[in-house]
A and B are shown apart, each in its own frame.
Chain A
């Protein structure tokens, strides 16, 4: 009887506690669950290319799919108050840069600011992404700019002749093998490609003019393809502040009004196992060129223009 009484008293205490938790629990638990305000850091390293990039056993990397997923994760995390986009990229393809840029705009429209921090280089497609963010930080010696579009094309006609290779094609239309490396571009084809490049360039100019609040004529003047240092870019209005990633984090912290030190959360960071067995994190221009060469040598005539 004594044992039962003791346990019943304890059960009563637990019952009272459960009722008490209804009133005092929410305040405490909500603050615990919310945690400290966070600043997310998302890295853009190497060439910006569309798709999944390289897929490893435990991860994938280098493609915009993974980058966009990281953006969505940061967008959906209520404790993330701002995103710092750390760009170290020489550029990439126009569609890949564009699709990430559009996602950045969507994240900003939801009230979550995105701040760019340029590392060694944030040129061309890298700048496209930066132009879609709220504020741009660059080191004084960062290489940026290269604002423009080009379509690479190699003519290996003479080489094929030397090694005795002659490509035979049955085409559905006169331009189906446009940009094929085994023959010279015709004037008509060159005009077609030029119109495409101009259209992409115009889109790029519009993105910069809109993102940087600059006149399109001024952007066209700056966007002749030349590169700028971070300091030159600031003078030209292409960059807001000179500073490193920590300055960008401080800027983001101030922008969203976080009091004290924010918690930093890095997206896309690989653990040791992923680093050992996962995909390579980024592409280099050499890797892409080698891949293109392999594709050309191993496949039929497919027109797949790359522009960066």
Chain B
């Protein structure tokens, strides 16, 4: 491992070992490059689709929003997951996890070649193929996130999966608590029927 291209190869074919290396070396520069490529390539796909349509003037704004929104999500996501990973006994650093998670944007690059193949399919299959590509990218990204948590914090696969879903579970718990709270308060509101 060493160069950016070699890191990409390892993330593709030896994700756990690659993520360990990225986290240990804190390859934040390479991670930021990967993130930028992961943003630009799907945006190209969208651009080719809306070229010449009335949607083009808002394209730049939407891209900027998407880019900075994803960047904020990456930073905050790394911070939150690092917190949960440490609670689960992990021994890594937040910067290491941040760098490793940057490479989990790699599957987004696959959207273009797979999308072009799907576009060549007959009408009936095309929608199904686009759906399958979306699902594949989501699952692959989640798998790389799990690998990033494992690699950065030395956790088992099961614990890493729990850490990945912990923020969602925590939010779900908070919503349930809020519903219970609101539900108990509603009978006290004097409704006029």
Interface residues of A (CB under 8 A from B): 3-4, 6-8, 10, 13-14, 17-18, 20-22, 24-26, 28-30, 32-33, 78, 276
A24 to B120, CA, bound (A): 8
| Residue B124 CB within 8 A of the other chain | no
A110 to B23, CA, bound (A): 58
Tell me the nearest residue of chain A to B182, going by C-beta: A276
Residues of B within 8 A of A3 (CB): 5-6, 9-10
Residue of A3, A18, A33 with most partner-chain B CB within 10 A: A3
Chain A at the B interface: SS class: helix
Indicate which residue in A13, A14, A28, A33 contacts B53 across the interface (CB closer than 8 Å): A33
A78 to B48, CA, bound (A): 20
Residues of A within 8 A of B5 (CB): 3-4, 7-8
Query: Can you list 25 contacts pairing A with B, beta carbon distance less than 8 Å?
Result: A3-B5, A3-B9, A7-B5, A7-B6, A7-B12, A13-B113, A17-B113, A18-B41, A21-B44, A22-B48, A24-B116, A25-B45, A25-B49, A25-B51, A25-B115, A25-B116, A26-B48, A28-B49, A28-B126, A29-B45, A29-B46, A29-B49, A29-B50, A30-B49, A33-B49
| Residue B87 CB within 8 A of the other chain | no
Knowing A14-B112, A78-B54 are in contact, say whether A7-B9 is a contact too (CB < 8 A). Answer: yes
A192 to B9, CA, bound (A): 87
> What 3 pairs across the A-B complex have the smallest Cβ distances?
A29-B49, A25-B48, A3-B9
Nearest CB of B to A125, in Å? 27
Query: Within residues 26 to 82 of chain B, which ones have a CB less than 8 A from any CB in chain A?
Result: 41, 44-46, 48-55
Tell me the nearest residue of chain A to B126, going by C-beta: A28
Indicate which residue in A10, A21, A30, A78 contacts B116 across the interface (CB closer than 8 Å): A21
Query: Within residues 92 to 128 of chain B, which ones have a CB less than 8 A from any CB in chain A?
Result: 109, 112-113, 115-116, 119-120, 126
Residue of A4, A7, A30 with most partner-chain B CB within 10 A: A7
A22 to B51, CA, bound (A): 9
Q: Is the CB of A33 within 8 A of B50?
A: yes
Knowing A6-B9, A24-B120 are in contact, say whether A14-B113 is a contact too (CB < 8 A). Answer: yes
Nearest CB of A to B146, in Å? 23
A98 to B6, CA, bound (A): 69
Q: Is the CB of A18 within 8 A of B53?
A: no
Nearest CB of B to A155, in Å? 30
Q: Is the CB of A32 within 8 A of B3?
A: no
A7 to B8, CA, bound (A): 7
Residues of B within 8 A of A32 (CB): 49, 130
Nearest CB of A to B54, in Å? 7
Residues of B within 8 A of A7 (CB): 5-6, 8-9, 12
Nearest CB of B to A273, in Å? 10
Q: Is the CB of B109 within 8 A of A4?
A: no
A81 to B12, CA, bound (A): 46
Residues of A within 8 A of B113 (CB): 13-14, 17
Indicate which residue in A4, A17, A33 contacts B6 across the interface (CB closer than 8 Å): A4
* 20 more A-B residue pairs beyond the given contacts A21-B44, A21-B112, with a C-beta to C-beta distance below 8 A: A3-B5, A3-B9, A4-B5, A4-B6, A7-B5, A7-B9, A14-B109, A21-B45, A21-B48, A24-B116, A24-B120, A25-B115, A26-B51, A29-B46, A29-B48, A29-B50, A30-B50, A32-B49, A33-B50, A33-B53
A212 to B12, CA, bound (A): 68
Q: Is the CB of B112 within 8 A of A17?
A: yes
Tell me the nearest residue of chain B to A8, going by C-beta: B5
Residues of B within 8 A of A30 (CB): 49-50, 53
Nearest CB of A to B192, in Å? 12
A30 to B51, CA, bound (A): 9
Residues of B within 8 A of A10 (CB): 12
Residues of B within 8 A of A6 (CB): 9
Q: Is the CB of B112 within 8 A of A26?
A: no
Residues of A within 8 A of B115 (CB): 17, 21, 25
A165 to B176, CA, bound (A): 56
A33 to B8, CA, bound (A): 32
Q: Is the CB of B53 within 8 A of A25?
A: no
Q: Is the CB of B41 within 8 A of A14?
A: yes
Tell me the nearest residue of chain A to B40, going by C-beta: A18
Indicate which residue in B10, B55, B116 contacts A20 across the interface (CB closer than 8 Å): B116
A303 to B45, CA, bound (A): 62
A30 to B50, CA, bound (A): 6
Tell me the nearest residue of chain B to A21, going by C-beta: B48
Nearest CB of B to A307, in Å? 29
